[in-house]
Amino acid sequence: MPRSTTVTYRVFSTPPEVAKAAAGLFASSVVEAAQARGIARIAISGGTTPKMMFELLADPAQPFFTQIPWDKLDLYWVDERCVGPEDADSNYRMTREALLSKVPLPAERVHRIEGELEPEEAAARYEAAIRNGFLLEGAETPTFDLILLGMGDDGHTASLFPHTEALDNMMNIAVANHVPQKETSWRVTLTWPVINQGRHVAFLIEGEAKTQVLHEVFQGKYQPEAYPAQIIRPASGKLTLLLDEAAAAKLPETVNGIGTLELN
Ligand code: 6PG
């Protein structure tokens, strides 16, 4: 059985408010990690939800752009579709257009998953890049300062999809995963033990399409093969959900927009 975890969830009226809270978490995580360890290492997800947050981080009119010490940030991805960086399905492309092309993050600090390669090779090269970036030795695994996740309406997170092989991989840092449910059926993803080693893990989840799955993942029976997001229980104990009202509609009422759930 999994370790017990306290989940803190913050509910906002609209997606722009979720994005602003997420941008604030991103910026504060970089500042804190840079002050504590001289470097911040953050892993971001793709999909559609994070785009608005990336745009806020890149907007000079917002406080985040000047708050963030860009030269102290190493940016990684939680997962990538096995497509080239120019493909419309590429998480990297979305991030480059919304964020990277507008901020002074040095290219050598952007650790893209090379989706244009064969999946196994892309996963191996990404794992090597992480080992190198974190100066890992032997079987050490990386501790990201912040890992930002999304959740699909099927309960997947990262590219850990229901009933797929990557759910059983506890050996690698990154792995190729075949996802027959998806048109882009090959993905590269961080494995769940790496995600659970994150100092702070936060889900960004929005929209009524996620209402039911959010309820099932965080209040339903523990069945991670069916709901992989249930596996995410950081050893640090810091698991945050940033939600809009639509997604949070089936969670217990909050006090001033903040609620907690005990996951047994
Ligand atoms: C991906 C993401 C994936 C995403 C969820 C939610 O590569 O698609 O990493 O895990 O976070 O599918 O996607 P939306 O934000 O589009 O709902």
Q: Which domains does the chain have, with CATH numbers?
A: 5-263 (3.40.50.1360)
pLDDT at 264: 77
Task: Give the residue, out of 76, 157, 217, with the most ligand 1 atoms within 8 A of its beta carbon, to mutate for a pocket test.
Answer: 157
Measured in angstroms, how far is the CA atom of residue 95 from the centroid of ligand 1? 13
Pocket residues for ligand 1 (CB within 6 Å)?
A: 45-49, 78-79, 91, 150-152, 156-159
- Tens digit of pLDDT at every position of the chain (264 positions): 567 789 999 999 999 999 999 999 999 999 999 999 999 999 999 999 999 999 999 999 999 999 999 999 999 999 999 999 999 999 999 999 999 999 999 999 999 999 999 999 999 999 999 999 999 999 999 999 999 999 999 999 999 999 999 999 999 999 999 999 998 899 999 999 999 999 999 999 999 999 999 999 999 999 999 999 999 999 998 999 999 999 999 999 999 999 999 997
pLDDT at 76: 99
Go through the chain and tell me how many residues it has. 264
Measured in angstroms, how far is the CA atom of residue 185 from the centroid of ligand 1? 14
Nearest ligand 1 atom, CA 78? 9
pLDDT at 115: 98
3-state secondary structure (DSSP) of residue 116? coil
- Distant-in-sequence, close-in-space partners of 88: CB < 8 Å, separation ≥ 6: none
Task: Give the residue, out of 18, 44, 45, 161, with the most ligand 1 atoms within 8 A of its beta carbon, to mutate for a pocket test.
Answer: 45
- Distant-in-sequence, close-in-space partners of 259: CB < 8 Å, separation ≥ 6: 8, 9, 11, 251, 252, 253
| H or E element in which residue 218 lies | helix 211-219
Nearest ligand 1 atom, CA 150? 11
Measured in angstroms, how far is the CA atom of residue 262 from the centroid of ligand 1? 25
Measured in angstroms, how far is the CA atom of residue 73 from the centroid of ligand 1? 23
Q: Cα(85)–Cα(210) distance, rounded to whole angstroms?
A: 28
Residue 190: φ, ψ to 5°: -65, 150
pLDDT at 99: 98
Nearest CA to ligand 1 atom 15: 49
pLDDT at 184: 87
CB distance 83 to 89 below 8 Å: yes
Nearest ligand 1 atom, CA 158? 10
Measured in angstroms, how far is the CA atom of residue 151 from the centroid of ligand 1? 6
